[in-house]
Structure 1
Amino acid sequence: MISWGAALTLLVTTYMGEASIPGMAVAVTKDDQIVSVQGYGHDSTGAPITGRSKMAIASVSKSFTALAVRQLADEGRLDLDRPVFDSRVAPRQLLAHKSGISDRTLKEKSLPQPNSPAEAVERAKEVLQNAVPDDQFRYTNTNYHLLARVVEEASGENFNAYLKKHVFDPLGMRDTTAIDVTPRDLPPDYPKGFGYAYGVDVPLTEPDRFVTGSDGVITTGDDMAKWLAAQPRLQPRDGMGWEADDQGRLRHNGIWFTGTAGQLLTQDGHGIAVLSNSGLTLGNDGTYLLENAIADVVAGRTPPEPESYRLLVDLVLAALVLLSIGLNVRALRRPRRFHKAWQVLRFVPVVVLLTLPALIGVLYGGRDITFFQLMHYSLPLVVWLGVSSVMNLSVAVVRWRR
């Protein structure tokens, strides 16, 4: 047994309990060797998570897309610095999210979703023509939707088929696949992930989204171990599907509304992959901190105590619902007159509710989100603002009539 095996199990299970995560798979490699693959907890069918449990890795998929682009560039079949799609944008700029395109210039999630990389290019045609690469980092899935089409045009193959033939199969990733649209294309044996509200994990279907090239890889802990073990010879690079953190380590994280994942390559040669079947919520931004803690464990360091504010956030929001109901019922029973200027404040909750997708987008660096997806992100937040809006508007109407 590896020396840190028990410490790893204690860390992961403690974190899962703190953050209310039903199931996880964790893979650890050292250089080109697989050291450990472990499953913890259960999936939405009640089956235990194992190294072969299928899970989404969300935007970790971008590193696979980047490898496909690099392969074709190394073969001379595409030029990383030659603009594509009659624009000023080159593949290298798409890879690094420095194309000039952002969720503000093209609302990636709230616009009608394409069904293929070709349709993604068509949807982005006007934005592409006006995009001016300026070396500014603006993260958006659209960059990698477009890269999927770059791969198709350079190779003459369907993007997902290219990944299978030239990436997954050569690495022995037999249980890995890539899809175009969620939930339509998810494998039949892929169990639902989980949403979370008020301390309860709820099996949910991932909202309808186009994910080709950006976040469409479905894989397992075993296969992610093979992927990590191959990185020393694949030579991952910052700005090409990987990002350097403040310690110079290469990594990439991924978030779905029903799952989160992350991968990390440390300076001492360890590779770490974490796959979780609990989605992005207020108080759960992904597996980043757990990856860091695992890196400490495998390096023989003592990690920070696992902590999560997920339940606390939802309990505070539940308390605010009750407080809003109580204060507004009291106001309805005591029809005192207030200055009209103060009554304007009663419209604040409904304004916040109506603009909430944009406000949450600002919190996540200008990312786009629909109202339906917002309810996956934090149902308690929507409930609080909804109840507060109804109650405050009711009081405002009653007082106006009086």
Structure 2
Amino acid sequence: MKRKLFGVLAATTALTLALTAPAAGSTVRAAPTPAAIDAFLTKVVESTGLPGMSVVVTHNDRVIHAAGYGQGSDGRPVTADTPMRVASVSKSFTAMAVMTLVDAGKIKLDGSVAEQLPGFQLADPRATAITVRQLLDQTSGLSDTTLDINALEETTSLAQYVERLKTGALATDPGTHWAYCNVNYDLAARLVEVASGQSFDDYLKQHVFAPLGMTHSALRSEAVRPSDGYNSVFGAWLARPELPGFLDGSGSGGVITTAADMGAWLISQNGKGKPLVTPQSLRTMHTPSKVSDYGMGWSRDSDTKLLVHSGNLFTYTAVEAISPETGYGFAVMTNSASLTDDTYAVATGLFAMTQGRTPELPGGGRQTFELVLGLIGLAAIGLGILGVWRSRRWAAGRAGRPGWRVALRMVPVLLPAVVLAAYPDLISFISNGRTITWAQLTYFAAPLTITLAVAALAGVATAAMRIVRLRERKADTIPQVIPSESIRSGR
């Protein structure tokens, strides 16, 4: 009897192991522990030199790790409850607010914006065809290149913002091309106000933040006060207030939140927490448009299959990412901005850990880039001093040459000044048509701006001294004419 019972138990055990064992060729991916995540993030802060960073990692319906590293400009340690500006990560919150009203039947997703938003009008008849869906997936045809972005940033309300659009035009027909433009989401925020009868701030708080328990999140700094962020200037972090044009509580980038609150948001976005919209509406938000990989406040990364959205202000950076396939979610937020952004590299490193892979340690790019710029700036100063000192010899070597040849020799030293004059336009062009102003270039791009300004000044100083020396030499070579009276008098 015992032998028979033993045989049954052995067979049962073998069957259980066969059913639960991984298939041939498959691998078991152990979930990263909070300690492992913490160790990785501690190394990240050391390698990047970031002044402050807060991070949350979620899986299905639970938060695995939420913590802060470094400190803020107010001297306080950064924690999971430290308020952070998340910039354009706000767009996914705005899209969610719109979709709650779509589910409630108060907004028609494929209906005309002009029919649902009184006062919306452009100096372009094609604007009447823009749909709400096209605002959210950024295929409306609106572009920084055809709108007065500076005038829009001076407005004090979303209603006034819409009013200022009347002189604008579209860059393309609605629905045909993708172009990242904040105006899309500011219009969406105003649409929320009109459809709900509430301010966008109040609606977001009541219908998005509160249901998820995001008690430390808000749209304006009056409710949640983050400290000043930092800019990196040749390796040194300088605390600076955020540019005022981006503190207007807009739908494109006004959200202030914490790592702890973002945990609830990521869980909800993966369909595991409290639902804010129907499952179909959630899938709609995550589905790319027909012309790009951008959905509604989310973009699909073709390499990792993650749904992501980054955010860059001028003193804060952030990124959010979810993996619908695995149920993981990640948010990385920093109280700094520079020529390089490490937040996405940190998020993908965390994702690698969830796949059982060793994450690559980001960092070094900012330091190297700014070191090179600093060396270029010092070289420009040296060449400027040398150019001024040798200007007399330069003028002597070009005496008697045609003026056009002399002018051509001035071009190389004046080239940095020409580039500086066109600097904002060049950066705007490189940024796919996004409008970049001089004020903005003194923030995240401060090292590049300083280096270019130093090179331009050195070139102008060299050119000016060469002109002075040429004139002196010309004056010295003009023959002196003796008056005829002096000749007759014997003088």
Range into which the TM-score falls when normalised by the shorter chain: over 0.9
Conservation of the 8 A alpha-carbon contact between 1:357 and 1:370: yes
User: How far apart, CA to CA, are the structure 2 residues paired with 1:3 and 1:309?
Assistant: 27
Q: What are the superposed Cα offsets for residues 305-361 of structure 1, whole Å, 9 maximum, x if unpaired?
A: 323311111111111111111112112222213543120222211111121112222
Q: CA deviation at 1:10?
A: 2.7
**For residue 296 of structure 1, what is the amino acid of its counterpart?**
A
Say whether residues 1:32 and 2:73 are aligned partners.
Answer: no
Q: Which residue of 1 aligns with 2:351?
A: 295
User: How far apart, CA to CA, are the structure 2 residues paired with 1:111 and 1:154?
Assistant: 22
Q: Which residue of 2 aligns with 1:352?
A: 419
Which deviates the most, 355-364 or 153-162? 355-364
Q: Which residue of 1 aligns with 2:91?
A: 62
Query: SS of 2:68's equivalent?
Result: strand
Conservation of the 8 A alpha-carbon contact between 2:91 and 2:185: yes
User: How far apart, CA to CA, are the structure 2 residues paired with 1:398 and 1:45?
Assistant: 47
Q: What are the superposed Cα offsets for residues 162-211 of structure 1, whole Å, 9 maximum, x if unpaired?
A: 000111011111111013xxxxx454642111111111111110011145
Query: SS of 1:176's equivalent?
Result: coil
Q: Which residue of 2 aligns with 1:182?
A: none
Aligned CA-pair RMSD: 1.9
Structure 1 unaligned blocks of 5 or more: 180-184
Query: Residues 177 and 311 (structure 1 numbering): CA distance in 2 closer, same or farther, change over 3 Å?
Result: same
Larger radius of gyration: 2
Conservation of the 8 A alpha-carbon contact between 1:108 and 1:140: no
Structure 2 unaligned blocks of 5 or more: 1-30, 114-119, 122-127, 276-281, 288-294, 399-405, 470-491
**For residue 441 of structure 2, what is the amino acid of its counterpart?**
L
Say whether residues 1:268 and 2:326 are aligned partners.
Answer: yes
Q: CA deviation at 1:83?
A: 1.5
Query: SS of 1:264's equivalent?
Result: strand
Work out which of the residue numbers 161, 165, 188 in structure 1 matches 2:206.
165
Q: Which residue of 1 aligns with 2:408?
A: 341
**For residue 320 of structure 1, what is the amino acid of its counterpart?**
I
Which deviates the most, 111-120 or 311-320? 111-120
Percent of paired sites with the same residue? 38
Flag the structure with more relative contact order, 1 or 2, with Cα contacts below 8 A and sequence separation at least 6.
Answer: 1
Q: CA deviation at 1:250?
A: 0.9
Query: Residues 188 and 28 (structure 1 numbering): CA distance in 2 closer, same or farther, change over 3 Å?
Result: closer
**For residue 117 of structure 1, what is the amino acid of its counterpart?**
L
Q: Which residue of 1 aligns with 2:312?
A: 255
Query: Residues 397 and 55 (structure 1 numbering): CA distance in 2 closer, same or farther, change over 3 Å?
Result: same
Q: CA deviation at 1:148?
A: 0.6
Query: SS of 2:58's equivalent?
Result: strand
Say whether residues 1:220 and 2:261 are aligned partners.
Answer: no
Q: Which residue of 1 aligns with 2:430?
A: 363
Query: Residues 40 and 130 (structure 1 numbering): CA distance in 2 closer, same or farther, change over 3 Å?
Result: closer
Conservation of the 8 A alpha-carbon contact between 1:80 and 1:92: yes
Query: SS of 1:377's equivalent?
Result: coil
Conservation of the 8 A alpha-carbon contact between 2:134 and 2:175: no
Say whether residues 1:397 and 2:482 are aligned partners.
Answer: no
How many residues are aligned here? 394
Q: Which residue of 2 aligns with 1:277?
A: 335
**For residue 206 of structure 2, what is the amino acid of its counterpart?**
K
Work out which of the residue numbers 123, 137, 145 in structure 2 matches 1:96.
137
Say whether residues 1:148 and 2:195 are aligned partners.
Answer: no
Q: CA deviation at 1:110?
A: 6.9
User: How far apart, CA to CA, are the structure 2 residues paired with 1:107 and 1:59?
Assistant: 20
User: How far apart, CA to CA, are the structure 1 residues paired with 2:373 and 2:216?
Assistant: 40
Q: Which residue of 1 aligns with 2:82?
A: 53
User: How far apart, CA to CA, are the structure 2 residues paired with 1:146 and 1:285?
Assistant: 28
Conservation of the 8 A alpha-carbon contact between 2:270 and 2:329: no
User: How far apart, CA to CA, are the structure 1 residues paired with 2:106 and 2:112?
Assistant: 14
User: How far apart, CA to CA, are the structure 2 residues paired with 1:147 and 1:310?
Assistant: 35
Query: Residues 217 and 151 (structure 1 numbering): CA distance in 2 closer, same or farther, change over 3 Å?
Result: same
Runs of at least 4 residues off by over 4 Å = 109-112, 128-131, 185-188
**For residue 222 of structure 1, what is the amino acid of its counterpart?**
A
User: How far apart, CA to CA, are the structure 1 residues paired with 2:181 and 2:408?
Assistant: 41
Q: Which residue of 2 aligns with 1:306?
A: 362
Query: Residues 130 and 248 (structure 1 numbering): CA distance in 2 closer, same or farther, change over 3 Å?
Result: closer
Which deviates the most, 136-145 or 119-128? 119-128
Q: CA deviation at 1:107?
A: 4.3
Q: What is the TM-score of this pair, normalised by structure 1?
A: 0.93
Q: CA deviation at 1:127?
A: 2.1
Query: Residues 225 and 187 (structure 1 numbering): CA distance in 2 closer, same or farther, change over 3 Å?
Result: same
Query: Residues 124 and 74 (structure 1 numbering): CA distance in 2 closer, same or farther, change over 3 Å?
Result: same
**For residue 99 of structure 1, what is the amino acid of its counterpart?**
S
Q: Which residue of 1 aligns with 2:236?
A: 200
User: How far apart, CA to CA, are the structure 1 residues paired with 2:109 and 2:342?
Assistant: 31
User: How far apart, CA to CA, are the structure 2 residues paired with 1:207 and 1:92?
Assistant: 30
